[in-house]
Amino acid sequence: MITPTIVNLARLQRQKAYFDREGYPTAQMQIHWQKTMEAIEAAFASINETITEITDTQDAQALTQAELAATQADLTDTQATLTTAVADIASAQAAIVTVQDDVTGLQTSILDAVLKDQTTAWATPSGTFTRTTFAAYAGQTVDAAYTQAEVQTIDDTVKGLSERLAALISDLRGNGVLT
C-alpha cells in the first residue's frame, strides 16, 4: 500500500539572525539549510520509492492480465472442444437408438414367425446359460475417449446376451425348433 509522504520543512524564526553583517550565512542558517535540504531529499526518495512501487504494481497487473487472457483463450478452446464432444455424443446416441430400433424390429420379426430349422448345423452351446429376467439394454452415452467403465458395461451386456442366447439355442434344440 502506498502511503503519502508529508514533507515538513523547518520555518525561519524571526528572533534568529541567519546572516551576519557582511551578508554571510550564520551557523544557524547553515544548520537550517542543511535540515531543509535533507527533508527535501527524503521527500524525493519517498516519491521515487512510490513511483517504483507503482511501476512494479503496473507490471504485475500487466502480467496478471496476460495470464487472464491466456486462461480465457484456454477456456474458449475447451468450450469449443466440449461443444464438439456434445455433438459427437448426440450423434452416437442417435446411432444407438437406430440400432436399438433395428434390434426391436428383428425381435418382433422373430416372434412373428418361428419356423422349424431344416438344417442340422446347430450344435448345443456350452458355458453358462442364463434364463432369468432382464431389462433390455438401453444403451449408454459413450465419450469420444472411451473409459474402462463404458467398455466394461458393453462387455457385461454382451456376456449377458451370450448367456441368454446359449440358453435360447439349447431350449430351441430341446423342443425341436432347431435341429
Residues 118 and 175 grouped into a single domain? yes
Residues 91 and 131 grouped into a single domain? no
Residue with cell 508529508: 6
pLDDT, one tens digit per residue, over 122-134 is: 778 888 888 888 7
Residues 31 and 106 grouped into a single domain? yes
| pLDDT tens for the chain, residues 1 to 179 | 666 667 677 677 777 788 889 999 998 889 889 988 998 998 899 899 999 999 999 999 999 999 999 999 999 999 999 999 999 999 999 999 999 988 888 887 776 655 666 666 777 888 888 888 877 878 888 888 888 888 888 888 888 888 888 888 888 877 777 76
The CA-CA-CA angle for residues 158, 159, 165, to 5°, reads 85
Give domain status of residue 9, yes or no. Answer: no
The last residue of a domain, from among 113, 139, 158: 113
The last residue of a domain, from among 73, 95, 113: 113
pTM, two decimals, is: 0.39
| Alpha carbon 84 to its chain's center | 15
As a dihedral over the C-alpha atoms of residue 49, residue 51, residue 53, residue 55, rounded to 10 degrees, the angle is -150
The last residue of a domain, from among 113, 139, 155: 113
Residues 74 and 122 grouped into a single domain? no
The CA-CA-CA angle for residues 5, 8, 11, to 5°, reads 165
Residues 50 and 101 grouped into a single domain? yes
Q: What is the span of the domain harbouring residue 148?
A: 114-179
Domain count across the chain: 2
Residues 124 and 100 grouped into a single domain? no
pLDDT, one tens digit per residue, over 97-118 is: 999 988 888 887 776 655 666 6
